[in-house]
Amino acid sequence: MERKNAWKAYGMEDMAAVEELSSLYRRFLDVGKTERECIAEAVNTAEAAGFRDLSEMIRGRTRLKAGDQVYLSYMGKSAAFFRIGTEPPEKGLNIIGAHVDSPRLDIKQVPCYEEAGNVYLDTHYYGGIKKYQWFACPLALHGIIVRKDGTAAAIEIGEKEEDPVFVITDLLPHLGKERNEQKVKDFFDAEKMDLLIGNRPVEEKEAKQHVLDLLFDKYRIQEEDFLSAELEIVPAGRARECGVDRSMILAYGQDDRSCAFAALTALLGNTDGKADSDPMQDREETAAVGGGFSRTACCLLVDKEETGSNGATGMKSRFFENAVAEILALSGGQLPGNAGEQIPFELRLRRTLMNSRMLSADVSAAYDPMFEKYYEKKNSAYLGNGLVFNKYSGSGGKTGANDANPEYMAQLRRIMEEQHVTFQTAELGAVDQGGGGTIAYIMAKFGMDVIDCGLGVLSMHAPWEVTSKADLYEAVKGYRAFYGFCR
């Protein structure tokens, strides 16, 4: 099997597009360090590209027609973006779904305490973190605090150059004798991973009270307001280019915001990375090469994947199904050829979902020669070798995997080759070394073809993850090809 490296095929034009896309991507990562921030940014970008709020069209009972671009945001933490095709929705949608939540530490409801003169916020980790990676590095606080009267304060501390940052302190090596003998799983006490946020008493005021007063002055919030807050601790700092050759990106949250960004960018038509490119012109170009958006295309961004996709904004919620029902209802007439028979709406919805195709856009583990025994070389993703297809995920005998059909994979291979997308196939590590899941199996429940497909990542789930600029470029190209050409 020949393994193609994406970089080797690039001419000057591609290189310029790779760089432009990469800088837009880094900006997206910088403004979207929580699921809320990501959805807000995605909605802004879509609106700037001409997408309209579907909820307004639902209220106004506005009919949808081919070429319409609409979105539905849900609780500010998940959203679906649709480009209506020329075919009726019942023929099926081409869906690319990614998640916008990332592993992190959350702040507890009653978090603030003072111990030995230090002020802390108590935390509860979110998703699969390696605890040791979060000690002794600069951290930022993002989120919202909703006051009792329903008004909210948006919090972001630690990202601007002049902002203070926070830290979880570690034990000095000089006193590490006993701990060096312990197993890693016993080593870190999640209850002792609290965020240091202050140390200064002022006159008769203790340090904790001083910190709370500062928060009140700035945000008009009181200690009780932490009860109704959603505060997340993330690594402080911006996405950076990585390597002497600047071929990679080092940033927080690339699982799965790399795929989220690529899926949205592909839908908006900016495959060349140009924010100002005209999506309608792209449509004509796409149509001209024979694909067009005959099928309705959908970019789906969801929350809560890292904790099992539960909750109203996770993939297991009915949010997406409801959104498709709304699209169907506003799209008017049922398929012709039913001899005047009224097909129940519920059945039409089931058919729409079943006839859909999906890329579960999520990252894969890139082969890491520093940890070679955990991978199987032939079936690993390599940084720079393009978009990764994971036919199945799961662990211990594919358990939990949706395992895509070969008929579907064959179609995707054909599309990728015809559209000159560099792609590779992989498993998430060697057999019996662990495993993982995505949202693929949840969407597969509707009876639609689904396959996992995304970027390879080094140091996945670490505070700073590594991706390749070339893989991002191929992902946008590949996702675009899928929206336009999958049947």
Q: Using CB under 5 A as the criterion, which residues of the chain lie in contact with Mn ion when the complex forms?
A: 255-256, 362
d(CA 299, CA 409): 20
Task: State the Cα angle at 290 between 287 and 296, rounded to 5°.
Answer: 60
d(CA 314, CA 295): 25
Tokens standing for residue 81: 């973006």
Q: Is the dihedral of CA 38, 40, 45, 51 positive or negative?
A: positive
Check if the beta carbon of residue 85 is closer than 8 Å to that of residue 297.
yes
Comparing CB distances to Mn ion, the nearer of 92 and 436 is: 436
Position closest to Mn ion via CB: 256
Maximum CA pair distance of the chain? 85
Residue bearing tokens 């699969």: 128
Nearest distance from C-beta of residue 362 to Mn ion, angstroms: 4
Nearest distance from C-beta of residue 99 to Mn ion, angstroms: 6
Half-sphere exposure of 23 (CA within 13 A, CB side): 8
Comparing CB distances to Mn ion, the nearer of 362 and 368 is: 362
Nearest distance from C-beta of residue 471 to Mn ion, angstroms: 15
Nearest distance from C-beta of residue 453 to Mn ion, angstroms: 12
Comparing CB distances to Mn ion, the nearer of 40 and 457 is: 457
Comparing CB distances to Mn ion, the nearer of 256 and 272 is: 256
Comparing CB distances to Mn ion, the nearer of 85 and 437 is: 437
Comparing CB distances to Mn ion, the nearer of 255 and 471 is: 255
d(CA 240, CA 230): 27
Residue 290 has phi, psi (to 5 degrees) of 105, -10
Nearest distance from C-beta of residue 365 to Mn ion, angstroms: 10
d(CA 107, CA 145): 11
d(CA 392, CA 399): 10
Nearest distance from C-beta of residue 361 to Mn ion, angstroms: 9
d(CA 35, CA 78): 8
Comparing CB distances to Mn ion, the nearer of 256 and 474 is: 256
Nearest distance from C-beta of residue 443 to Mn ion, angstroms: 14
